[in-house]
Amino acid sequence: MHRRTVLLLSICLCGAWLSGYAQDFRLFDRQIQIHGFASQGFVYTNNNNWLTMKTSQGSFAFTDFGANVSMQVTDRLRIGAQGYDHNIGNLGEWHPLLDWAFADYRFKPWLSFRGGKVKTVIGLYNDTQDYEFLNSFALLPQSVYPLDMHDANIAHMGGDLYGDVPLGHRSGSLSYTVYGGGRRDSYDAGYPYALRKTVAPINLTSNGGPQYGADLRWRTPLPGLLAGISRMNQHDEGKGTFVPFWNPAAGKIPYWEYTKRYWLNQYYSQYSKGALRLTLGYRRTYIDAVDFNGTSTCEIDVRGWYVSGSYRLAKRLELGSYYSHYTMTTHYGGILGQVFPSRVDPSRPENHIYDKVVSARIDLNRFSNVKLEGHFMDGYGDGPYPDGFYPGDNPAGFKRNTNALVVRTGFSF
């Protein structure tokens, strides 16, 4: 606890110092921009440990920070990169990541290309979820933007085609992104962590594969109203080691799994007018996988939606609330099907999380803020798709309801 307090104070001092300095300068008559951010959180829950932290005791293990540099090389070419690190309970574990690094060339307003390690555009916030200071809430709705799937969803190695197409004064405009490439899970991401915490632990040392998709959003003729749709397809192959639960005498052997189908659809909308912002989103993720060295199958259907609203009461005070609705059904086959029953009833607490949230954001100045947030959750969604609650972090079992207090302070420059 003492070390966490020291870390929090260090981030505060660092953020305050950096915010007082200019971060743009010129080199060879070209502008270079340097920016950074950091946040520190505290989470307490009355029941159930959450997000891999020991939150039932109160946890400060909620830290992330990053820095980026970009340069306008020519009028059409821009390059940039960002480093990122985080430790959220057992996620991240202080292993630094190259968050993104790209070259972006603008042919026309309706046709541009960026390539390298590129943020994946899914819905309103997937590609900006690292930037806490852009959001009204301490935690984005976990039904659609799960924190423990951050490393899997945040970026891909490949390229994007994107642009803006005006539709005329009375029709608004369309923005599109089409992307393709590949992704790799971090060893310290939610899915590998979940497998290490099962009753038959799997040490997944690699996981990932090709990924492609698109995002289309319409800025409607009604000022402030945006609507969009995203689609992502991918193929994952995982490798590691495990001890077969049906034959423990075999000892540790190589492990493999792969997905036959893996796709995600997301629909979203946002309306902003003055101090008011309203958003809603729906995401469905479907995974059909072959597991345990071909002995088993697992079909997962995850559906999440949310509706949120925020209103800035004063220059430095914003209040907000959202309702986040998450359900998951799972069908097992093969050896897994003989051991575990399929889970098809979303009304049961192990198959859903319904989260009611109230929040306040206080902007201390241009560069720093504090967010206070209450979560009132029904259900714990204990399943094979990471959703915040893990059996290994709750050895005494789960209680149906969880109330959580989240305090998060952030800095940016």
Residue 294 three-state SS? helix
Cα-based angle 9, 319, 14 (whole degrees, multiple of 5): 20
DSSP 59: B
Q: What is the pLDDT of residue 15?
A: 47
How many domains in the chain?
Answer: 1
Structure tokens at 69: 């540099």
- The model's pTM: 0.91
Q: 406: burial class by Cβ within 10 Å (0-12, 13-18, 19+)?
A: buried
Across 315-382, the runs of DSSP E, i.e. the strands, are 317-333, 352-363, 368-378
Q: What is the pLDDT of residue 128?
A: 92
Q: What is the pLDDT of residue 9?
A: 43
DSSP symbols for 13-35: HHHHHHTTS--EEEETTEEEEEE
Q: What is the pLDDT of residue 2?
A: 44
Q: What is the pLDDT of residue 225?
A: 98
Range of the domain at 154: 2-412
Structure tokens at 179: 């992307």
Question: With b meaning 16 or more CB within 10 Å and e meaning fewer, what string describes 297-314?
Answer: bbbbbbbbbbbbbbebee
Residue 403 three-state SS? strand
DSSP 139: S
Q: What is the pLDDT of residue 286?
A: 98
Which CATH number covers residue 98?
2.40.160.10
Q: Please count the other Cβ atoms lying within 10 Å of the Cβ belonging to residue 78.
A: 18
Running along the chain, 413 residues long, what does each successive block of 10 average in pLDDT?
46 47 66 94 97 97 96 94 96 92 96 97 94 95 94 93 93 97 91 85 93 97 97 96 89 95 98 97 98 95 98 97 98 92 94 98 96 98 89 94 98 93
What DSSP element (H or E) covers 162?
strand 155-166
Overall residue count recorded for the chain in this entry:
413
Whole-angstrom Cα distance, residue 408 to residue 373?
Answer: 8
Whole-angstrom Cα distance, residue 202 to residue 242?
Answer: 5
Strands 62-72 and 97-108 come out as unpaired
Output helix, strand, coil percentages for the chain, rounded to the nearest 5: 15, 55, 30
Q: Is the Cβ–Cβ distance between 70 and 78 less than 8 Å?
A: yes
> Can you say how many angstroms the Cα of residue 77 is from the centroid of all Cα atoms in its chain?
29
